[in-house]
């Protein structure tokens, strides 16, 4: 089943399918590196952040590689695929470069080089967001998709963009924890602070809204855009409530 799904994904978008698979294999390597390198940064393995970002990028590559197949403009699909691949790969390389040195990749302006790397990642993410705005405009023009599924993709992309831009709030603060310094005890793998507000939660929910709402749109509200819209609004309100709690310095639980 998984093999047939991946073969279909490769048929739809070979670049994003294969690059996602490569990054997934890198994830396995990053998962075992702590067994040989015990260095930690802010209370977690230095390899934890690269692992999360490579995994998240794999999921994103496979998601947009799958949903873009219904766009009739093949040149536009190729442009978005190549652009997203290059931009996110650039960010991953910078994150990995800093991890190898045992340095934080985000909010780190301690040296001119660190500040330049952090600034470069911000530019890459901004350009990547423009690609997703373009993708949203293309999806909105497609007439052949089931209405509920299409609405799920649209709402997922909108919330994805909002969640992405919330990252600039964290960049402006040079921290993601509210009420304490970064590096507080957090939940396994995710790292979200247990006792304080953490702006990464809304960021996470926003960035993965594309997967959640697309799947809900296909499997539950495939031909019911009205109910899909209600679900999408509820998802955004729930995410926003968590964002508000985080701004107050309150933990998720």
In this structure, the answer to whether residues 87 and 207 fall within a common structural domain is no
What is the reported pLDDT for 184?
A: 83
In this structure, the answer to whether residues 111 and 58 fall within a common structural domain is yes
**Counted domains in the chain:** 2
Cβ-based burial of 176 (10 A; exposed 0-12, middle 13-18, buried ≥19): buried
Contact between residue 159 and residue 213 where contact means Cβ atoms under 8 Å apart: yes
In this structure, the answer to whether residues 110 and 208 fall within a common structural domain is no
Planar angle of CA 62, 65, 67, nearest 5 degrees: 105
Give the residue numbers spanning the domain of 55. Answer: 1-144
**CA neighbor of 145 nearest in space, from 161, 156, 129, 130:** 156
pTM: 0.92
In this structure, the answer to whether residues 15 and 139 fall within a common structural domain is yes
In this structure, the answer to whether residues 119 and 26 fall within a common structural domain is yes
In this structure, the answer to whether residues 137 and 153 fall within a common structural domain is no
| SS3 per residue for 25-66 | HHHHHHHHHHHCCCCEECCEECCHHHHHHHHHHHHHHHHHHH
What is the reported pLDDT for 178?
A: 85
Q: Would you give the DSSP letter of residue 188?
A: T
In this structure, the answer to whether residues 119 and 168 fall within a common structural domain is no
Using CA atoms, how far apart are residues 165 and 132, in angstroms rounded to an integer?
A: 12
In this structure, the answer to whether residues 116 and 8 fall within a common structural domain is yes
What is the reported pLDDT for 207?
A: 92
In this structure, the answer to whether residues 165 and 41 fall within a common structural domain is no
Which segments in the chain show pLDDT lower than 70? none
In this structure, the answer to whether residues 86 and 116 fall within a common structural domain is yes
**CA neighbor of 33 nearest in space, from 50, 54, 11:** 50
248: left (phi over 0), alpha (psi -120 to 50) or beta: alpha
Look at residues 144, 172, 207 and tell me which one is the last residue of a structural domain: 144
What is the reported pLDDT for 234?
A: 97
In this structure, the answer to whether residues 49 and 124 fall within a common structural domain is yes
In this structure, the answer to whether residues 167 and 195 fall within a common structural domain is yes
What is the reported pLDDT for 150?
A: 96
């Amino acid at each position: 089943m998984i093999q047939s799904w991946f073969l279909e994904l490769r048929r739809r978008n070979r670049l994003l399918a294969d690059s996602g698979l490569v990054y997934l294999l890198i994830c396995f390597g990053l998962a075992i590196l702590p067994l040989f390198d015990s260095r930690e940064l802010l209370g977690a393995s230095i390899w934890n952040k690269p692992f999360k970002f490579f995994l998240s990028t794999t999921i994103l590559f496979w998601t947009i590689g799958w949903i873009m197949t219904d766009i009739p403009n093949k040149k536009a699909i190729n442009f978005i695929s190549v652009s997203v691949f290059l931009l996110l790969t650039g960010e991953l390389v910078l994150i990995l470069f800093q991890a190898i040195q045992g340095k934080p990749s985000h909010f780190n302006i301690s040296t001119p080089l660190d500040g330049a790397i952090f600034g470069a990642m911000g530019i890459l993410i901004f350009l990547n967001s423009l690609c997703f705005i373009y993708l949203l405009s293309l999806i909105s023009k497609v007439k052949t998709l089931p209405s509920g599924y299409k609405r799920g993709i649209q709402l997922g992309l909108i919330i994805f963009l909002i969640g992405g831009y919330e990252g600039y709030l964290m960049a402006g603060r040079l921290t993601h924890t509210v009420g304490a310094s970064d590096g507080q005890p957090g939940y396994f793998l995710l790292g979200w602070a247990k006792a304080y507000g953490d702006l990464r939660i809304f960021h996470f929910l926003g960035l993965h809204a594309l997967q959640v709402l697309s799947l809900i749109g296909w499997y539950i509200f495939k031909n019911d855009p009205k109910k899909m819209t209600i679900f999408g609004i509820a998802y955004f309100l729930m995410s926003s409530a968590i964002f508000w709690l985080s701004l107050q310095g309150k933990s998720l639980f």
